[in-house]
Amino acid sequence: MAAVTTSRIGSILKLSLSSGPVNALSPPLITALANEIAAANTPKSGVTGILLASAAPKVFSAGLDLTQLSVSPSSKNNRESVSKYIGSFQNLVHALAGSHVPTAAVVHGACPAGGTVLAFCTDYKVASSIQRSYFCMGLNETRVGLAPPLWLHALARNNLNSARIADRLVQLGYLCSSPQESLQHGYLDAVIADATPEALEAHAIEQLNQLAAIPWNARVQAKLGARKEMLSLLENGNTDEMVDCILGDEFQSVTAQLMASLKKK
């Protein structure tokens, strides 16, 4: 099964993450997403909106793939491979946040860390009010020992309700436990009462169509202008900020414990 399942709903391109049990951002998933976004990124593609969803019932995406980040003796990873992986992730973030085609994310289930990063890169992020025990959303990077790079601070400030909330909740590695709480802080743009997955998708497509009705160049320039600081921080292609932290003792130690506890489950 492909890491991303694609389908078309009229001129909308739906990208359903379908990689393993929790949609960890594995190299094939990152490559597939990046390729789809790049191919759609022009009016000639005929794609007028990208809908990001998940094929997993309880998870949007669990974020970065820990197996790519561990440099324990039992792994094949080294600085070069970690840097290559992080570079591909950052390129995906840049491509999604700067997509010329309007984008939206439908968040059903768990959406921690890198999952929230993907949602934050879109133009509209929405969930149903139906509470599910497995729902979570937030930037919990610090809890696993990962310091947010500067572009992630900028992305958080661009989405959350205030610079203060971004500072406080990113430091705390806070995860919202309900769609309503996510909406309240700005993790989501809207929560639709009692919406089924189908109703939610229809709502998101309506929003994408509203954006697609705006003159193309003006809309694209408006988007890139509003996100200039964040996009610029990604444009130097520098991965050292994240890689230095990942290779440090703190992250390796926290990750080793986390992976051991996940294996037990």
Which residues of the chain form contacts with its own copies (CB under 8 A)? 123-124, 141-150, 153, 157-164, 166-168, 170-173, 186, 189, 210-211, 214-223, 225-228, 245, 248, 250-251, 254
**Closer of 18 and 124 to its own copies (Cβ):** 124
**Closer of 136 and 160 to its own copies (Cβ):** 160
Tokens of 208: 């994408």
C-beta atoms surrounding 241 within 10 Å: 17
In the three-class reduction of DSSP (H, G, I as helix; E, B as strand; rest coil), residue 174 is classed as coil
Cα distance between residue 255 and residue 63, in whole Å: 13
Nearest distance, CB of residue 144 and its own copies, angstroms: 8
**Closer of 57 and 248 to its own copies (Cβ):** 248
In the three-class reduction of DSSP (H, G, I as helix; E, B as strand; rest coil), residue 72 is classed as coil
Nearest distance, CB of residue 241 and its own copies, angstroms: 9
Nearest distance, CB of residue 245 and its own copies, angstroms: 7
Cα distance between residue 251 and residue 80, in whole Å: 17
Nearest distance, CB of residue 28 and its own copies, angstroms: 28
In the three-class reduction of DSSP (H, G, I as helix; E, B as strand; rest coil), residue 101 is classed as coil
**Closer of 56 and 112 to its own copies (Cβ):** 112
Max Cα distance, the chain (Å): 54
* Inter-helix orientation angle 79-97/240-247, to 10°: 140
Cα distance between residue 36 and residue 255, in whole Å: 31
Nearest distance, CB of residue 207 and its own copies, angstroms: 9
